């Protein structure tokens, strides 16, 4: 769509080939202005924890970014304590970033981005791959930060229409071009749509609109009792931490079976044990009539 490319131009991460972008009072084509203005900008790139060092702890990651901006020890401690408390990461300050859930990684990335009180915060799809509860907590956190830092502007790229509903102003893009601008209410009114998702589809070129079809999942009819996958007391421990605790279920052949839960609740660990990518600590997993793991 061109969202990430546009954000990289605005942040100064990429050099503009043609045209102009005025950011914080200056032209980003001017190399001197880019150098001067970049310390006033924070950019969270697309992807979970992309601005983090996964072998460093939660505290060490934020402290590293604070040192980059020249904060003295007392100021670093005060800012880090405030950010970790406000994001709920204080109890995990010594945990390596690589062992955090997706939602916690994004909160830590936000702490690192906010450590120097930026005037412009750029978030490139910050909640993609994050569970609904963590997504809601992330945006509640952004709202609370905006109330304290009223001079900070926030620029967001997202594919989630329910998130876009809460933004002040929207730019709908497709294939690198702007389709329409306005508030969520204005875009719905312009397209006579009940939802923002319907409004976006209505704004697309006709060929793309004609190709759009609602997702229809055919109902499941149990024609046979054959079990494709079965878990019996499946358990996974990492040291003292129990990631999966005596899980039991059966999946008939042909059924669409879903794991629903927040980041870090054990979904991926369970699937890795089912497929043999991770040996179970206890229990057994049978796949296609073959025992996968047994302890």
pLDDT digits (tens, 9 = 90+) for 70-105: 888 999 999 999 899 888 899 999 999 998 888 888
Residues 6+ apart with CB under 8 A from 125: 3, 4, 46, 157, 158, 159
Residue 209 pLDDT > 90, yes or no?
no
Mean pLDDT for 226-248 is 91
User: What integer best gives the mean pLDDT of the chain?
Assistant: 88
Please give the structure tokens belonging to residue 217: 């999942």
Angle at which helices 184-191 and 196-203 cross, to 10°: 60
Please give the structure tokens belonging to residue 101: 């859930």
Mean pLDDT for 115-124 is 92
Q: Give buried/exposed letters for 29-39 (b at 16+ CB in 10 A, else e).
A: beeebbeebbe
Residue 295 pLDDT > 50, yes or no?
no
Distance CA 38, CA 26 (A): 11
What stretch(es) of the chain map to CATH 3.40.50.300?
3-159, 227-294
Token look-up 């690589």 returns 98
Residue 223 pLDDT > 90, yes or no?
no
Distance CA 123, CA 116 (A): 16
Distance CA 66, CA 55 (A): 18
User: In DSSP terms, which residues pair with 242 in a beta bridge?
Assistant: 237
pLDDT at 293: 47
- Helix locations, the chain, DSSP H: 3-11, 31-37, 58-68, 73-87, 102-114, 132-148, 161-164, 184-191, 196-203, 206-211, 267-274
pLDDT at 291: 52
pLDDT at 224: 66
pLDDT at 119: 93
Top-confidence residue, 225 or 124: 124
pLDDT at 108: 93
Mean pLDDT for 266-288 is 88
Mean pLDDT for 244-255 is 90
May I ask the CATH class of domain 3-159? Answer: alpha beta
Mean pLDDT for 229-233 is 92
The DSSP-derived string for 128-181 is TT--HHHHHHHHHHHHHHHHH-TT-EEEEE-S-HHHHTTSS-EEEEETTEEEEE
pLDDT at 56: 96
Query: Has this prediction a pTM greater than 0.85?
Result: no
Residue 288 pLDDT > 80, yes or no?
no
pLDDT at 181: 97
CA 16, 18, 20, 21 torsion: positive or negative? negative
pLDDT at 127: 87
pLDDT at 178: 93
pLDDT per residue as tens digits for the range 149-203: 888 999 999 989 999 999 999 999 998 899 999 999 999 999 999 999 999 999 9
Mean pLDDT for 262-288 is 86
pLDDT per residue as tens digits for the range 22-81: 999 999 999 999 999 988 999 988 887 788 999 999 999 999 999 998 888 999 999 999
Distance CA 5, CA 33 (A): 20
- The residue among 43, 117, 108 whose CA lies nearest residue 79 is 117
Of the candidate ranges 32-46, 85-99, 109-123, 279-293, the one whose mean pLDDT is the lowest: 279-293
Distance CA 24, CA 28 (A): 9
Q: Give buried/exposed letters for 201-211 (b at 16+ CB in 10 A, else e).
A: ebbbeeeeeee
Strand 290-294, strand 120-124: pairing = unpaired
User: Which phi and psi angles does 39 have, rounded to 5°?
Assistant: -65, -15
Token look-up 């609370």 returns 144
pLDDT at 261: 84
| Check whether domain 227-294 has CATH 2.40.100.20, yes or no | no
């Amino acid at each position: 769509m061109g969202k990430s490319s546009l954000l990289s131009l605005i942040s100064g991460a990429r050099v503009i080939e043609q045209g102009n972008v005025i950011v914080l009072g200056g032209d980003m084509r001017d190399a001197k202005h880019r150098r001067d203005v970049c310390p006033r900008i924070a950019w969270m790139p697309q992807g979970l924890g992309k601005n983090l060092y996964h072998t460093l702890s939660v505290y060490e990651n934020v402290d590293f970014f604070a040192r980059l901006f020249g904060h003295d020890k007392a100021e670093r401690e005060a800012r880090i304590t405030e950010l970790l408390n406000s994001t709920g990461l204080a109890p995990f300050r010594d945990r390596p970033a690589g062992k955090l859930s997706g939602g916690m990684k994004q909160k830590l990335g936000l702490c690192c981005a906010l450590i120097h009180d930026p005037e412009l915060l750029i978030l490139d799809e910050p909640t993609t791959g994050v569970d609904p509860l963590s997504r809601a907590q992330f945006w509640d956190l952004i709202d609370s930060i905006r109330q304290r830092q009223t001079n900070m502007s926030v620029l967001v790229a997202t594919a989630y229409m329910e998130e876009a509903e809460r933004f002040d102003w929207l730019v709908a893009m497709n294939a690198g071009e702007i389709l329409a601008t306005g508030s969520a209410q204005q875009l719905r009114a312009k397209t006579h749509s009940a939802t923002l998702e319907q409004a976006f589809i209505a704004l697309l070129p006709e060929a793309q609109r004609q190709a759009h079809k609602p997702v229809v999942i055919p109902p499941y009819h149990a024609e046979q009792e054959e079990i494709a996958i079965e878990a019996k007391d499946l358990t996974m421990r990492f040291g003292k931490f129990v990631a999966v605790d005596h899980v039991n279920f059966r999946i008939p052949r042909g059924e669409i079976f879903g794991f629903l839960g927040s980041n870090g609740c054990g979904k991926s660990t369970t699937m890795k044990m089912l497929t043999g990518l991770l040996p179970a600590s206890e229990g057994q997993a049978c796949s296609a009539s073959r025992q996968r793991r047994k302890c």
